[in-house]
Structure 1
């Protein structure tokens, strides 16, 4: 049994749902998996969350129901990512994240258990997987939160600028402001380039 009492706080990388259609997705997941502990990946809802949005007006679904369905869409996307990169360890609680890291493995968050039980998350489309990644970062005391998107942000910009540009949801700046560590945004191409440099250096 690994000792979880001194597990270091995680570094969180949130993968935007738009990356589901990126040809480099499997390569990106493999590169992140190789980084190992203390990395925790958060998957966006991607096309599955888009399907919830499309279904809402057809069935006149409440925002509360769609909130829960969108979280389950993130969970399903996480299972898909784990299938593409089997060395990622699925984790649904702080304890299972710590256990994965104690084994040296990068973890992949299954959000339903924690997020569906939370009473501090607005049940509306103003909250998406971006804010949920900041929320879990706060819960776990993460050292850093990095959003990986298909679109680059302007260097020197801040979460409020990202929200104004539609790159993150409207609630993200408030959630990000609660974090002690840095919050940044990058692209899949930049992550892969950095990983390649580390592989060469190794």
Structure 2
């Protein structure tokens, strides 16, 4: 499955104000050739609603956990509307389409691989999926990055509130060859370049990308 990339699209893109950016992301995906994508959607405003409800009514950890996963699933259906040719999947890892959209509820009912905690967000959920599938590329598209550093530690991204608290713990279990990127919307035009070059190439300043709007996790 080395031709697969897990791509997590932040839930913050799934709203009226960010339609332009979301369409840029979808367009960039469609332009990449000879590649297959696993799309994991963030929970966005739907997950924020769950968090607010939990804060007010102190839900059981499992209730808030699965409700937040349901928020991701809702956004998966919303994102699917931007594609003409795609497939949904949950526990059947037979990827025949270029675009494969993750429906996490059944997956979590079967595997339930992560703690039931707000320390776990869709970032860690997408990473765990990538680890299970043993993909070579793991990408998170965000509204922001750490602009001053091209190469960062996962712990640094947590401190900058780019990733959830559990992510560094899980990331330590990743296979060494996993290339992990946090990509800002402005860099999606370079998406194919980012996928097709390895870590050393991306750190080589001779490439001189027009915009270094990405972080490489190590």
> By the TM > 0.5 criterion, same fold?
yes
CA drift at 1:61: 1.4
Counterpart in 2 of 1:151? 144
Counterpart in 2 of 1:35? 32
Relative to structure 1, is the Cα distance of residues 9 and 179 closer, same or farther in structure 2, using a 3 angstrom cutoff?
Answer: farther
Counterpart in 2 of 1:14? 8
Measure, in 1, the Cα distance between the counterparts of 2:118 and 2:55.
13
Measure, in 1, the Cα distance between the counterparts of 2:78 and 2:101.
11
Instruction: Kindly report which structure 2 residues correspond to 1:1-202, keeping only aligned pairs within 5 A, or say none.
Output: 8-21=2-15, 22=18, 23-35=20-32, 37-96=35-94, 98-100=95-97, 105-153=98-146, 154-180=149-175, 181-194=178-191
Secondary structure in 2 matching 1:24: helix
Secondary structure in 2 matching 1:84: coil
Contact persistence 2:6–2:139 (CA under 8 A): yes
Deviates more, 1:67-76 or 1:153-162: 153-162
Secondary structure in 2 matching 1:86: coil
Q: Unpaired runs of 5+ in structure 2?
A: 194-218
Relative to structure 1, is the Cα distance of residues 195 and 183 closer, same or farther in structure 2, using a 3 angstrom cutoff?
Answer: closer
Deviates more, 1:158-167 or 1:27-36: 27-36
The structure with the greater share of residues assigned to helix is 1
Measure, in 2, the Cα distance between the counterparts of 1:184 and 1:41.
15
CA drift at 1:64: 1.4
CA drift at 1:177: 2.1
For residues 37-89 of structure 1, the C-alpha deviation after alignment (integer angstroms, 9 at most, x for no partner) is: 32111110111101111111333312210100011110110100001223232
CA drift at 1:33: 3.7
Secondary structure in 2 matching 1:58: helix
Measure, in 1, the Cα distance between the counterparts of 2:171 and 2:30.
25
When the two structures are aligned, how many residues end up with a matched partner?
185
CA drift at 1:94: 4.2
Measure, in 1, the Cα distance between the counterparts of 2:173 and 2:92.
18
Alpha-carbon RMSD:
2.0
Measure, in 1, the Cα distance between the counterparts of 2:130 and 2:63.
24
